[in-house]
């Protein structure tokens, strides 16, 4: 997996549907354990709520963890629709909890699914979606005469983490794994093979 989409930061949303209040929380997580802690934390915060429906999807270091829970709502009416949003938006390493305070009017299966789904979508959109790519570090040694050229190209492809000035200029550059070869090839071409890639 060279890149994935996740949330930029935690997000929250609230909506009212026929007197029921739905409060949705969405957050980026690093592991299944972190997702479980987040879900437990929301359940404790809203322990007076009728339902705390949750879903998470973790795909990291060859570990895939998927879970959704209706928390007492009719089976398939709430946890699964929330989880389907994560799938539809192709999100990974995200946990969502939608808390419901029942307002006295039953929503029916379709109404429930819609309310949970819409609250989850709003919280996710409020959190913001970002693309995370795998990074790799490239070390380059160049003459002082090529320093500006190497520096410009490095900034185009990634970011310079460190520069050392000795008899030569040494750059430590972080680039996306997918563009590493392209970057190295360009470096060799523009400097007419005067750089050393370590």
- List, as one string, the DSSP characters of 123-140: HHHHH-EEEEE-EEEEEE
Of the chain, the percentage scoring pLDDT greater than 90 comes to: 83
Least Cα distance to 143 among 166, 123, 160 occurs for 166
In the chain, CATH 3.30.70.240 covers: 134-197
Q: Is the pLDDT of residue 26 over 60?
A: yes
| Nearest one of 189, 181, 132, 183 to 156, comparing CA atoms | 183
As a whole number, mean pLDDT of residues 44-63 equals: 93
CA distances from residue 154 to 127, 179, 184 in whole angstroms, order as listed? 31, 11, 10
Residue for token pair 């969405």: 26
pTM of the model: 0.72
CATH T-level assignment (fold) for domain 134-197: Alpha-Beta Plaits (3.30.70)
pLDDT band, residue 24 (cuts 50/70/90)? very high
Judge residue 132's burial from the number of C-beta atoms within 10 Å of its C-beta, 0-12 exposed, 13-18 middle, 19 or more buried: middle
For 64-81, what is each residue's pLDDT tens digit? Answer: 899 999 999 999 999 999
**C-beta of residue 3 within 8 angstroms of C-beta of residue 129:** no
pLDDT at 25 over 60: yes
Q: pLDDT-derived band of residue 12, with 50, 70 and 90 as boundaries?
A: very high
Specify the pLDDT at position 1. Answer: 43
**63-69 and 94-101 strand pairing:** unpaired
Structure confidence by residue, pLDDT tens digits, 85-110: 999 999 999 999 999 999 999 999 99
Q: What does the pLDDT read at residue 60?
A: 79
- Distance between CA atoms of 10 and 25, rounded to whole angstroms? 7
User: What is residue 175's predicted lDDT score, i.e. its pLDDT?
Assistant: 87
Cβ distance 20 to 115 under 8 Å?
yes
Top-tier CATH class for 3-132: alpha beta
103 alpha carbon, distance to own chain's centre? 33
- 28 forms bridges with which residues in the sheet? 94
Which residues belong to CATH 3.30.230.30 in the chain? Answer: 3-132
Is 5 within 8 Å of 130 (Cβ atoms)?
Answer: yes
Nearest to 30 by CA among 54, 1, 13, 6: 6
pLDDT digits (tens, 9 = 90+) for 115-159: 999 999 999 999 999 988 778 899 999 999 999 999 999 999 889
pLDDT of residue 2: 57
CA separation for the pair 69, 107 (Å, rounded): 19
- Is the confidence at residue 3, as pLDDT, over 90? no
């Amino acid at each position: 997996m060279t890149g994935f989409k996740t949330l930029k930061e935690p997000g929250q949303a609230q909506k009212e549907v026929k007197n029921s209040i739905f409060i949705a929380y969405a957050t980026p997580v690093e592991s299944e354990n972190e997702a479980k802690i987040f879900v437990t934390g929301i359940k404790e915060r809203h322990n007076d709520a009728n339902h705390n429906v949750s879903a998470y999807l973790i795909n990291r270091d060859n570990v895939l963890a998927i879970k959704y829970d209706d928390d007492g709502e009719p089976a398939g009416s709430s946890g699964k629709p929330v989880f389907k949003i994560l799938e539809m938006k192709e999100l990974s390493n995200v946990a969502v909890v939608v808390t419901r305070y029942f307002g006295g009017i039953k929503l029916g299966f379709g109404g429930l699914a819609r309310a949970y789904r819409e609250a989850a979508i709003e919280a996710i959109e409020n959190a913001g979606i970002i693309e995370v790519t795998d990074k790799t570090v490239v070390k380059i040694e160049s003459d002082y005469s090529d320093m500006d050229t190497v520096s410009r190209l490095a900034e185009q492809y990634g970011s310079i983490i460190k520069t050392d000035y000795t008899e030569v200029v040494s750059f430590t550059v972080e680039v996306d794994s997918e563009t590493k070869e392209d970057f190295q090839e360009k470096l060799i071409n523009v400097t007419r093979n005067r750089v050393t890639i370590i």
